[in-house]
Amino acid sequence: MRKLSVDEMGRMSVDEFRESEKFPLVIVLDNIRSLNNIGSFFRTADAFRAEKIVLCGYTQQPPHREITRSALGAEMAVAWEKNPSAVDAVNALKSQGYNVWCVEQAEGSVLLQDFEPAAGDPYAFVFGNEVEGVADEVIAASDGCLEIPQFGTKHSFNVSVSAGIVLWDYIRKKITEK
């Protein structure tokens, strides 16, 4: 066994990515403070061919050297938009037919393994601030909360790690949709 070279992986170009069909998936960032986390979201959005990222509140936007450092250029491929209000972003997505779920530990949250996305429906996932999480008013505007089971002493994952877990689970379920 050997590692594949970048050329052997057959990845698409930025232009090919922009023109490619995307999974019915939008990522909403609610006041993410770390530029490295924002860059990681761009890389994850690229990997899972998300439609776009919505940067809300004080979440910084590209171009920015610190975002690029962890995005590794994914910010050039993934569509994004800025919205001052995560609540407004959630309401706009819902009016466009998206099911909007926050990734948060909350009363009545659905454990990730029990989450079954509706066949054919588009989804948006909201990820919140590294310390405060998703704002209460954003949770209230959303369709529900997803919770990632955890078995250690800490009460949360890094927000960009949470994105990788949730989005892979969603994509896996969409790929196997009958």
- Residue 67 φ then ψ, to 5°: -70, -45
| 99 in a structural domain | yes
Domain presence at residue 115: yes
Q: Is 48 within a domain?
A: yes
Dihedral-angle region of residue 53 (phi above 0 means left; psi in -120 to 50 means alpha; beta otherwise):
beta
Is residue 76 exposed (0-12), middle (13-18) or buried (19+ Cβ within 10 Å)? middle
Q: What per-residue confidence (pLDDT) applies to 155? A: 86
pTM: 0.95
Q: Is residue 1 part of a domain?
A: no
**1-5 mean pLDDT:** 92
Give the Cα separation of 110 and 94 in Å (integer).
19
Cα–Cα distance, 157 to 12 (Å, whole number): 30
- Provide the number of structural domains found in the chain: 1
Q: What is the pLDDT of residue 6?
A: 81
Inside any domain, residue 20: yes
Domain holding 65: CATH number? 3.40.1280.10
- Domain membership of residue 45 (yes or no) is yes
Does some domain include residue 131? Answer: yes
Residue 176 predicted with pLDDT over 90:
no
Question: Could you list the residue range(s) of the whole structural domain that residue 74 is in?
Answer: 6-175
The confidence band for 178, taking pLDDT boundaries of 50, 70 and 90, is low
Q: Tell me: the pLDDT tens digits for 32-87?
A: 999 999 999 999 999 999 999 999 999 999 999 999 999 998 999 999 999 999 99
User: d(Cα 103, Cα 61) in Å, to the nearest integer?
Assistant: 21
What pLDDT, in 10s, does the model give residues 8-36?
Answer: 988 889 999 999 999 999 999 999 999 99
For a pLDDT cut of 90, what percent of the chain falls above it? 89
What would the pLDDT profile of 124-172 be if each residue is shown by its tens digit? 999 999 999 999 999 999 999 999 999 999 888 999 999 999 999 999 9
How many Å apart are CA 77 and CA 95, to the nearest integer? Answer: 26
